[in-house]
Amino acid sequence: MTRPPNPTAFFRSPGRLEAFSDGVFAIAITLLILEIKVPSAHDASTVAELWRALLERWPSYFAFLLSFLTIYVAWSGHHLMVQQVKTVTLSLVWTNAFFLLVITFLPFPTALVAEHLTSPSGSLAVAVYAATNACSSLMYLCLYTVSNQDRTAPNRLRYARLNALGGVAICVACVGLAFVSKTLALLLVGAVWVWWSLPRREEPPLAASD
């Protein structure tokens, strides 16, 4: 608001870009639960039948947990990037659009994995899931490049960039791996997100000039 006008600024401040993106992340993460179908009282009318029906849904719980983790880490990384943005350029608005496009698409491959994991078609479902994650890491990398405008705080985010590149590579590999072992491919995609979420002791703190 109090900043001098900037010829490359598309929005005056990043406030609404954050608010809108937060909304999209929050909704995508909460919609995941709608994909876990409740067993009907007609099909599972006793405790034993309901217990079996609930256990049979394990791919749904697993896919829910994995996608929840994915979206949460993506949101956290999005925040780390946007907090260093000073000028909301048109490129940033559009890179953000495609990042959010992948995030809003994620509930579809998640439901695909939940539905197909235990049948022979599961390999393709896992491959689609890994490909979506590869796109997500790729858009993360693009967003990082576009948002790091003054290049004065590279220490903190260098890890994110390397991680994103590694994430793209691993997820692309998992697209092929899914047809060999779908379980291994899915665990590797999950491992990428667990890795991203680990605290990094060696990471230097934000400098005072940031």
Give me the residues paired with residue 88 across strands.
11
Q: List CB contacts of 20: < 8 A, sequence separation 6 or more.
A: none
| Closer residue to its own copies in complex, CB, 149/169 | 149
3, 23, 154, 181: which one binds its own copies (CB under 8 A):
23
Block residue for tokens 């479902």: 125
Q: Cβ closer to its own copies: 11 or 62?
A: 11
What Å distances lie between residue 161 and 77, 132, 166, 171, CA to CA?
Answer: 11, 18, 9, 15
A 10 A CB-CB count for 93 gives 13
169, 191, 194, 207: residue in contact with its own copies (rule CB under 8 A): 207
Question: Which residue from 135, 101, 137, 89 is spatially nearest to 21, judged by alpha carbons?
Answer: 101
Closer CB to its own copies, residue 169 or residue 179? 179
CA distance to 124, 148, 163, 181, per residue, from 120 (Å): 9, 44, 32, 11
The distance of closest approach from Cβ of residue 136 to its own copies in the complex, given in angstroms and rounded to an integer, is 14
Burial of residue 205 (number of CB atoms within 10 Å: 0-12, 13-18, 19+): exposed
User: Where in 125-184 is the site for its own copies (CB under 8 A)?
Assistant: 125, 128, 179
Q: Binding segment for its own copies among 49-57, 134-142, 161-169, 186-194 (CB under 8 A)?
A: 49-57
Distance in Å from the first CA to the final CA of the chain: 19
Residues 55-114 that bind its own copies (CB under 8 A): 64-65, 68-69, 72, 75-76, 79-80, 83, 90, 93-94, 97, 100-101, 104-105, 107-108, 111-112
Nearest-approach distance from CB 137 to its own copies, in angstroms:
19
Does residue 46 bind its own copies (CB under 8 A)?
A: yes
Q: Which residues contact 13 (CB under 8 A, 6 or more apart)?
A: 1, 3, 88
Q: Which of 145, 152, 183, 197 binds its own copies (CB under 8 A)?
A: 197
- Is 162 or 179 the residue whose CB approaches its own copies more closely? 179
- Sole window of 23-31, 129-137, 141-149, 163-171 interacting with its own copies (rule: CB under 8 A): 23-31
Q: Which stretch binds its own copies (CB under 8 A): 21-29, 139-147, 159-167, 169-177?
A: 21-29
Q: Is 139 left (phi over 0), alpha (psi -120 to 50) or beta?
A: alpha
